[in-house]
Chains A and B, each alone.
Chain A
Amino acid sequence: SQELEQSPQSLIVQEGKNLTINCTSSKTLYGLYWYKQKYGEGLIFLMMLQKGGEEKSHEKITAKLDEKKQQSSLHITASQPSHAGIYLCGADIVYGNKLVFGAGTILRVKS
């Protein structure tokens, strides 16, 4: 079974609308990372969350990690076509060991 469950699998939103992507684990996470990927390209780092209850924002993207450090959400406000891509959550399941990834969320933004 997948160690990180990411939802939804895909999302189509109208430009200007808000959206949320979720990432859940049954284990306590030592670190939670959000990345964006354009098709066929490398990963662009978005946010790193390490403390329970932590919340970070950059431009119109906000990421949160719950108090138990088992669930994270990525929220995009007033989506734009430039937000389109694949969003991946990655997590340290074992401290300092390696990242495991969720299945990814494909986001399309309709103009």
Chain B
Amino acid sequence: SAVISQKPSRDICQRGTSLTIQCQVDSQVTMMFWYRQQPGQSLTLIATANQGSEATYESGFVIDKFPISRPNLTFSTLTVSNMSPEDSSIYLCSVGQTNYGYTFGSGTRLTVV
């Protein structure tokens, strides 16, 4: 199965600033996803990152707040923009592969102060 490198692993940011999270995969994958896990909660899908086109966002998530790039089949970024304390969460990238299911990165633990 694919190996995912996600960074940063954690960060503490000032409100009003932006943070970009990177996800690098060791093989080409078609399906790539970004999830958010708020404190004490389960995972919620933010968007599907599409290579060469705009990401597909889930209800409640918008591109202006969570812009996503997917320049090729091995890399994606998620930006959390104009952060507030409510954005404090773990953000995870995931890839889907037909025979291996879904693999997750190690997560980015974001604290907004």
Bound form: Cα–Cα A33–B94 in Å:
13
- Tell me, rounded to whole Å, the shortest Cβ–Cβ distance linking A105 to chain B: 10
Bound form: Cα–Cα A102–B41 in Å:
10
Bound form: Cα–Cα A95–B103 in Å:
17
- Tell me, rounded to whole Å, the shortest Cβ–Cβ distance linking B40 to chain A: 9
B12 at the A interface (CB under 8 A) = no
A33 contact set on B, CB distance < 8 A: 101-102
Bound form: Cα–Cα A31–B31 in Å:
15
Q: Are B102 and A99 in contact (CB under 8 A)?
A: yes
A45 contact set on B, CB distance < 8 A: 1, 101-104
B45 at the A interface (CB under 8 A) = yes
Beta-carbon nearest neighbor of A98 in chain B? B45
A96 and B96 contact, Cβ closer than 8 Å, known pairs A33-B102, A42-B105: yes
8 Å CB contact of A88 from B31, B42, B94, B109: B42
Chain B binding surface SS class = strand
Interface band, chain A: 10 to 19
A12 at the B interface (CB under 8 A) = no
Beta-carbon nearest neighbor of B44 in chain A? A101
B41 contact set on A, CB distance < 8 A: 103
A90 contact set on B, CB distance < 8 A: 43, 102
Bound form: Cα–Cα A52–B43 in Å:
25
B22 contact set on A, CB distance < 8 A: none
30 A/B residue pairs, CB under 8 Å, sorted by A: A31-B101, A33-B101, A40-B90, A40-B107, A41-B106, A41-B107, A42-B104, A42-B105, A42-B106, A43-B43, A43-B107, A45-B1, A48-B100, A48-B101, A88-B43, A90-B102, A96-B31, A98-B33, A98-B45, A98-B48, A99-B94, A99-B96, A99-B102, A100-B45, A101-B43, A101-B44, A102-B42, A103-B41, A103-B42, A104-B42
Closest 4 CB pairs of A and B: A42-B106, A43-B104, A48-B101, A42-B107
- B-to-A contact residues, CB < 8 Å: 1, 6, 31, 33, 41-45, 48, 90, 92, 94, 96, 100-107, 109
- A-to-B contact residues, CB < 8 Å: 31, 33, 35, 40-43, 45, 48, 88, 90, 96, 98-104
